[in-house]
Amino acid sequence: MATSPSILQIGLLNMTFTLTGCELSTGIFQESQPIENQLEVTLAADPTYVPQTLAASTREPILEISDEQQTPALGSSEQLNPSPTKSLLPQTQSATEPAIPEPAANNQSDRHFFGEFNGVKTKWEAMKQTLAGELEEQNRKVQALKLKLQLIEQIAQNVDFKTKAYVVSPYHLFAEFTLENHTPYAIKDISITCDQIAPTGTIITSQTETIYDIIKSQTRSSYIPLPYGIKHRQTQSLQCQITNFTVHNPE
């Protein structure tokens, strides 16, 4: 029959366990290293390691980086030429819709309008200049005709023209003239046309003679008879008139 341990034996065992635990605890503290040294060792072994004490003190979330998301080593093409960052804003355009082209730059040199090319413009400008020159020339002619008409009216009113016709044997017609110039102009190169008139009033024949003299203003000139051809057997009268003249040095 086994005897139960005595109170003394139980007390000795408790003291032994207590002392042994102190020695073990003391050995653990002696073998432990400072926290700073532990951090250095841990960081050297694993560069991605973040101590829990630092994470708890800074209150910042710890991001886990997988092997695929780790930064590539220096010298690679992806590190030297990083890809452009993608926008995180919501896309309003669906993938199926065609892309809207950007408006082209407003370049005036790329714009062409019908009718503004140099060739067409040059052609119209040349035509306009030609027509303007012709119009100016016609205006000069019109002014000259107006002046001549005024002179004719003045001469018709202010030049007395008298004729005297007679027949020289056997059938030659002659006419003599007297001109009185009452205009402020001197006239020259006067053309006189005489018509042989039948009894019915029909012009049988017509002939023009020119007096190449200058009749000054406010003068009178008489001329010897001028020949006007052979008298027709049915000529009843001879009608003469001034048909042309030239103004000499108009004032």
Taking only the tens place, the pLDDT of each residue in 166-210 is 787 778 888 888 888 888 888 899 898 999 999 999 999 999 999
In a domain, 93, yes or no: no
Q: What is the DSSP string of 45-76?
A: H-TT---HHHHHHHT-PPPP--TTTSPPPTTS
- Which helix H or strand E contains 139, and what residues bound it? helix 118-158
In a domain, 20, yes or no: yes
22 pLDDT band, cuts 50/70/90, is: very low
CATH of the domain at 204: 2.60.40.10
Burial 34-64 (b: 16+ CB within 10 A, else e): eeeeeeeeeeeeeeeeeeeeeeeeeeeeeee
Q: Residue 170's pLDDT is what?
A: 78
Give the count of domains, the chain. 2
Tokens standing for residue 209: 């003679």
In a domain, 239, yes or no: yes
State yes or no: pLDDT of 243 exceeds 90: no
In a domain, 154, yes or no: no
* Rounded CA separation 239/245 (Å): 18
With contact defined as beta carbons under 8 Å apart, do 169 and 157 qualify?
A: no
The count of residues in the chain is 251
With contact defined as beta carbons under 8 Å apart, do 192 and 206 qualify?
A: no
With contact defined as beta carbons under 8 Å apart, do 211 and 224 qualify?
A: no
Domain with 216 in it: 159-248
Average pLDDT of the chain?
70
In a domain, 175, yes or no: yes
User: 10 vs 82, which has greater pLDDT?
Assistant: 10
* Global pTM value: 0.42
In a domain, 203, yes or no: yes
In a domain, 102, yes or no: no
